Amino acid sequence: MKKICSVLLIFLTACNSVTTYDTEFKNPVFNQPLRPLSKTVGYAYLTPTSAEFRGVLDKNVTIYKGKCDLIENKQDRITLKCQGNWVDGTKHNSYLTYVIKEIPEFIPNCLRILEYDYSKPEDFPKNEMHSAKYCVTPPKKMLSESD
């Protein structure tokens, strides 16, 4: 009986020490649909386990759907490692990093978010020019009194 209890205790201790994945974003801003800031990208819908991109001309048309692992979860950035398919069946496996930037002066109700899409962690783009730009509604605490 003591052996069974000891084994059970070791098993439960081991289960508690297993690394768990985050099941929600630390910053709820990433739960919003990401609205495109240009006509070159469509809407992006993210969860900690998936990414879905919608068409540039019609946000009701899904053009990419992927299953993801949330590998970085910070207040100002998240990184997803995704495996998915484009609408034409082409496989696309990549890392997607989303970085919160600032509220532009010319769009006061827009919190700018950059998307970096790359194939290996060492290929992370260093230049903002290589990112898709999105907009989300900023939290009330970020808005200035003039907004």
How confident is the prediction along the chain (147 residues), in pLDDT tens digits per residue?
455 444 444 444 444 444 445 689 999 999 999 999 988 899 999 999 999 999 998 999 999 999 999 999 999 999 999 999 999 999 999 999 999 998 877 778 899 999 999 999 999 998 888 899 999 998 876 554 444
Query: Is there a domain that residue 84 lies in?
Result: yes
Q: Has residue 131 been placed in a domain?
A: yes
d(CA 98, CA 86): 20
In a domain, 7, yes or no: no
- Specify the pLDDT at position 12: 43
CB atoms within 10 A of CB 129: 6
Question: Which residue has tokens 């290589």?
Answer: 130
Residues 6 or more apart whose Cβ sits within 8 Å of residue 49? 67, 68, 69, 70
Whole-prediction pTM: 0.79
Q: Is residue 44 part of a domain?
A: yes
Q: What is the pLDDT of residue 142?
A: 58
Domain count, the chain: 1
**Residue 9 belongs to some domain of the structure:** no
Is residue 5 assigned to a domain? no
**Residue 67 forms part of a structural domain:** yes
Only one residue has tokens 């879905």, namely: 52
Domain that holds residue 27: 21-142
Report the half-sphere exposure of 145 (CA within 13 A, side-chain side): 0
| Burial class of residue 140, CB neighbours in 10 A (0-12, 13-18, 19+) | exposed
